[in-house]
Amino acid sequence: MAFYENLRLEKGMYGTGKSFTDVLESLDHSENYKGTSLENLDAYQRQLKRFDIRVSGRTSDRVEKFFQSGDSAALFPEYVCRAVRQGIEQENLLPSIVATTTQVEGLDYRTITSTPTNEEKSFKPVAEGAKIPETVVHVQDHLVKLQKRGRMLVASYEALRFQRLDLFTVTLRQIGAYIARAQLGDAVDVLLHGDDGKDNAASIKASGTSGVAYKDLVSLWASLSPYQMNTILAGTEAVQDLLNISELKDAKAGLNFQGTGKLGTPVGANLLHVPDVPSKTVVGLDSTCALEMVQAGDIVTDYDKLIDRQLERASISMIAGFTKIFGGAVKTLTYQA
């Protein structure tokens, strides 16, 4: 009998600072299964196979299949986390605007920052024997504000036990989508207002008395120099206004949008539809250096309640925050109706 079939599963595998899957992998290494029929499965998926639990597809099992034994019940919280993570990944625009993600163990975190002057950005030649210009990096004087985002799963075990896991996964993915949208809203708020409680967004205004024009996008692009404006964020109304600019009606640009569904702009930046951006506002940024995401752990569930089938009120949440790295890498454009 394979080792994974004898592995003892218990509540203590949760709340260790590692994911349940990582704990399983430390006990049952995937590398030991190379060249076998289990080669493409991770340690958690091997446990699903062990108890013959199918979580997707037309032949997916019912929720109660997880609770056929104490060992199989220990797999249920990880199933919930994975389904929620699927929803986050499907909805998540953060990878398109976040330059780096920092994992922290506590809630007190100060990031580093640097505010180079225009002269420091120029990198002029240094004469022999002359002092090399400095770039000062220092720790911010305030903590990064971390937000807890999540949902309370309210349902009895009796209400869920006969439901197919494929259907239940859809519900859990929607919780993940909510978390992703809420975190995106937090990121936009920091891009616009900073994370220090001060309204420090650099902004320019459109040249005309109404609407937004191509030259306004060019001005936004130029104002970010020497950073590269590779990403533009806009709300629903602003996206409609941008797509009505004559330069965006170019046949080739239209074919790209119609053929791939990806929005573009005449200045080469990716245009992302973000409803949290205020009306009549366009945000331009260099996504390679504008924003840091700070994450305290992964998806957290009330694993003890889930294992013990006490589903009346079980929370699913994530803790994360955002901070600007280089403030000059973000600019906003505002215009009138």
DSSP β-bridge partners for residue 334? 205, 281
**The CA-based dihedral angle spanning residues 7, 12, 18, 24, taken in that order and rounded to the nearest 10 degrees:** 0
Give the CA distances from residue 164 to residues 74, 75, 85, 117, 332, in Å, rounded to whole numbers and listed in that order: 18, 16, 19, 59, 47
Q: Residue 199: pLDDT above 70? A: no
Mean pLDDT to the nearest integer, 152-178: 94
Give the CA distances from residue 154 to residues 107, 191, 306, 330, in Å, rounded to whole numbers and listed in that order: 27, 34, 11, 40
- CA 317/CA 309 separation, integer angstroms: 19
Total-model pTM: 0.85
Gyration radius of the chain's alpha carbons: 25
pLDDT digit string, tens, across residues 124-140: 676 676 777 667 776 77
DSSP class of residue 62? B
Query: Which has the minimum average pLDDT: 145-149, 267-271, 290-294?
Result: 267-271
- CA 61/CA 69 separation, integer angstroms: 15
> What is the rounded average pLDDT for all residues in the chain?
87
Candidates 260, 282, 295; CA nearest to 205 is 282
pLDDT digit string, tens, across residues 285-321: 999 999 999 999 899 999 999 999 887 888 999 999 9
* Cβ(4)–Cβ(92) below 8 Å: no
Q: Which position has the higher pLDDT, 208 or 333?
A: 333
What lies within 8 Å, CB to CB, of 4 at 6+ separation is 28, 38, 43, 46, 47, 50
Mean pLDDT to the nearest integer, 73-86: 96
**The CA-based dihedral angle spanning residues 246, 250, 255, 260, taken in that order and rounded to the nearest 10 degrees:** -50
Task: Please report which confidence band the pLDDT of residue 256 belongs to, taking 50, 70 and 90 as the band edges.
Answer: low
Mean pLDDT to the nearest integer, 219-234: 92
